[in-house]
Structure 1
Amino acid sequence: MSDQGSCDARTLGATLGLTEDCAASAVATLTGLLLLRHLPEDSDRLVPVAPDAAIAALVAPKEAGLRRQLAEIDQLRGELALLTPFYAESRRRWQGRPPLTEVTDLKTVVGMITEATMRCRQEVRTCHPGGGRSPTLLEQAFIQDRDMLRRGVRMRTLYQHTARYHLPTQEYARRMTDEGAEIRTMSELFGRMVAFDGETVFIPHQDDLDAAIVIHEPSTVAYLCATFDHTWSLAEPYHPAWTESSARDEVKQAIVRLLAEGMKDEMVARRLGMSLRTCRKHIAEIMEQLGAASRFQAGYLARVQSSAPAPGSA
């Protein structure tokens, strides 16, 4: 063909000793590679194209696209490399942080809890011994807790039964359960704590109400979370249908048990998260029901009655 300048597919096949189908296939392949082209004035005739021209027309755009991709890769690599020092510093801080930190400033404690709340991605466990919290604290907690729930964070909260009598806490519980939180109560709790993602736990300082202990040590965190989970399995789910009388009955049972252990009124009140006045009112009712002359006797009589076999039992 180069000698003749141009020819059609049939002539090309005859010249090369190819069948018509083989010639058509070869022409299609060479045309696709831009090594053959049809004459504008006669579409049946084909002329050869210089390989350099075919390269320029077919390969050059692919090379240009590849160069653009390589440039984008280099740019992305550079942008990501800028983050390397920040990541290294973050890892250094994470690995270098102490297993236990004492934070003595209340403002710092609140700030650290707020930061942990914002970082939380999986689950938060909270345990709040005592009665109800103040309406102001509950409203502040609701805003942060609601935001976590709407991010898909699971939230489980433990209160004592006495919190069921506190109207602001009742309203907080209703709003939180509507948002998807899980709330349970029981007569006694093991202590106050907040655990984020099973990695960080805040517990109160023993000697300073404005201070906190922040725990990162994995074994200690796992132990505290397991303690929470065990208590959770024993607690009563919070729901409006759970009557106040049911809560009072469980509280009185706990009072009887603690009295039988010889606890003073003040200690019983603290353990059950109620005021001393309310505690003594319950104790007076228990003593009257049992005909007991002393608190210890009330606890003893209640324990004897609870362990006595039912009439007719063998």
Structure 2
Amino acid sequence: MGGIGEGDGRSAGPREQTAGTAPKAQLSEDAVRVFRWVSDQGSCDVRTVGATLGLPENCAASAVRTLTDLLLLRHVPEDPDRLVPVAPDAAIAALIAPKEAGLRRQLAEIDQLRGELALLTPLYTEGRRRWQGRPALTEVTDLKTVVGMITEATMRCRREVRTCHPGGGRSPALLEQAFVRDRDMLRRGVRMRTLYQHTARYHLPTQEYARRMTAEGAEIRTLSELFGRMVAFDGETVFIPHQDDLDAAIVIHDPSTVAYLCTTFDHAWSLAEPYQPAWTESSARDEVKQAIVRLLAEGMKDEMVARRLGMSLRTCRKHIAEIMEQLGAASRFQAGYLARVQSSGPAATAPGTA
């Protein structure tokens, strides 16, 4: 339909209108009056429509603009000042039908997407049923079963394993067994992060294990104290020791508990130092001594301090003797107190020998 939406530059002339783009204009009483009158007359002169109907010029111009936007009036190509009416059905076909077609396409796409996603519902339901059927926490009391479950989890692991080993170094036999298993994981592209206590830097078999593992791509760090022993696979399964049985373990599948333990590991990891075998003059040695002082100040016995820091009682007492000599303390508690005073300033006076 030639000429629809072609303006002539006049203030009361029509605005450009693309077929299929519905305007936001609404029919006013003035627009209805103009359309009825033009329909009765068959045509009108855009310059005189307002005066003919007794409408103010701006109201008449707004009404004509609305009607042309809605494709209910069109200019005669031979006489741009003359308007003729257009059947509302034709305006509907030009303005609304394209939008309806677009909506139908969108609905078809939505139905297709809904159908494709619905195909996955049985898979999710089946998997959910398996997860819900598996207990969030399993107690395994047989050592061979524990080892077998860890081996199986190691073989299934695809992304990352986090291991936390409090205490001193492990036995050479266990380290060799772990090396073969862990090396295979690393070569599959699994990230491996291991936390030891600083005291593991003393242990020659652990030093060799750390050297071989880091060469394969493992990451190893140490802290003076660790939160507990655990092994986490892919952020989905965590093994922790049984508190009453050294040969038993607790296997955790609950997502919230697993996420909490992995976050705890990540926090400790951010505070830890990269493993270095030779640490006589390192900051790790100072950190161990600071931990000893802090635990002594809390009133812990030598045996408990040694256990907390993963060292032998003999090594612990050697460190304590060095600390007491450096501080001039006559007792372990006084050593802890003097160390706190020195770290906070000379505001307090050391008490007498406890």
Normalising by the residue count of structure 2, what TM-score does the alignment of the two structures yield?
0.62
Q: CA deviation at 1:276?
A: 1.0
Moved more, 164-173 or 239-248: 239-248
Measured in 2, the distance between the counterparts of 1:249 and 1:143 equals: 34
1:125-183 superposed Cα distances (whole Å, 9 cap, x missing partner) = 00000000000000000001000000000000000000000000000001000000000
Which residue in 2 is equivalent to 1:200? 237
Q: CA deviation at 1:277?
A: 1.2
Q: CA deviation at 1:242?
A: 5.1
Change (3 A) 1:132 1:66: same
Structure 2: runs of 5+ lacking an equivalent: 1-37
Judge conservation of contact 1:104–1:210 (CA < 8 Å) in 2. yes
Q: CA deviation at 1:194?
A: 0.2
Q: CA deviation at 1:53?
A: 51
SS in 2 for 1:2: helix
Moved more, 68-77 or 304-313: 68-77
Judge conservation of contact 1:131–1:163 (CA < 8 Å) in 2. yes
Change (3 A) 1:69 1:142: farther
Structure 1: runs of 5+ lacking an equivalent: none
Judge conservation of contact 2:157–2:234 (CA < 8 Å) in 1. yes
1:39-87 superposed Cα distances (whole Å, 9 cap, x missing partner) = 9999999999999999999999999999999999999999999999999
Whether 2:249 is the aligned partner of 1:209: answer no
Whether 2:85 is the aligned partner of 1:45: answer no
Q: CA deviation at 1:25?
A: 58
Measured in 2, the distance between the counterparts of 1:276 and 1:87 equals: 54
SS in 1 for 2:41: coil
Measured in 2, the distance between the counterparts of 1:18 and 1:260 equals: 96
SS in 2 for 1:10: coil
Judge conservation of contact 2:140–2:250 (CA < 8 Å) in 1. yes
Change (3 A) 1:197 1:3: same
Moved more, 64-73 or 187-196: 64-73
Moved more, 296-305 or 242-251: 242-251
Change (3 A) 1:198 1:37: same
Judge conservation of contact 1:164–1:244 (CA < 8 Å) in 2. no
The 5 A counterparts of 1:75-224 are: 92-224=129-261
Q: CA deviation at 1:285?
A: 1.0
Measured in 2, the distance between the counterparts of 1:285 and 1:195 equals: 38
1:205-238 superposed Cα distances (whole Å, 9 cap, x missing partner) = 0000000000000000000000000000000011
Judge conservation of contact 1:10–1:23 (CA < 8 Å) in 2. no
Measured in 1, the distance between the counterparts of 2:116 and 2:135 equals: 32
Moved more, 75-84 or 203-212: 75-84
Change (3 A) 1:72 1:227: closer
SS in 2 for 1:131: coil
Q: CA deviation at 1:281?
A: 1.1
Q: CA deviation at 1:93?
A: 4.0
Measured in 1, the distance between the counterparts of 2:336 and 2:61 equals: 106
Measured in 2, the distance between the counterparts of 1:151 and 1:235 equals: 26
Measured in 2, the distance between the counterparts of 1:286 and 1:17 equals: 106
SS in 1 for 2:278: coil
Judge conservation of contact 1:10–1:20 (CA < 8 Å) in 2. no
Change (3 A) 1:53 1:290: closer
Which residue in 1 is equivalent to 2:291? 254
Q: CA deviation at 1:102?
A: 0.4
Compute the RMSD of aligned alpha carbons.
8.7
Measured in 1, the distance between the counterparts of 2:60 and 2:351 equals: 108
Normalising by the residue count of structure 1, what TM-score does the alignment of the two structures yield?
0.69
Q: CA deviation at 1:247?
A: 2.9
Larger radius of gyration between Structure 1 and Structure 2: 2
Measured in 2, the distance between the counterparts of 1:59 and 1:276 equals: 87
Change (3 A) 1:223 1:301: same
Whether 2:324 is the aligned partner of 1:287: answer yes
Change (3 A) 1:15 1:292: closer
SS in 2 for 1:46: strand
List structure 1 runs of 4+ shifted beyond 2 angstroms: 1-95, 239-248, 309-314
Judge conservation of contact 1:201–1:215 (CA < 8 Å) in 2. yes
Change (3 A) 1:242 1:15: farther
Judge conservation of contact 2:168–2:311 (CA < 8 Å) in 1. yes
Change (3 A) 1:49 1:151: farther
Q: CA deviation at 1:13?
A: 66
The size of the alignment, in residue pairs, is: 314
Measured in 2, the distance between the counterparts of 1:307 and 1:69 equals: 70
Judge conservation of contact 1:149–1:180 (CA < 8 Å) in 2. yes
1:84-117 superposed Cα distances (whole Å, 9 cap, x missing partner) = 9999987654431100000000000000000000
Percent identity at matched positions? 92
Change (3 A) 1:144 1:28: farther
Change (3 A) 1:36 1:274: same
Measured in 2, the distance between the counterparts of 1:41 and 1:139 equals: 97
Moved more, 211-220 or 15-24: 15-24
Change (3 A) 1:308 1:41: closer
Q: CA deviation at 1:246?
A: 3.5
Measured in 2, the distance between the counterparts of 1:111 and 1:43 equals: 90
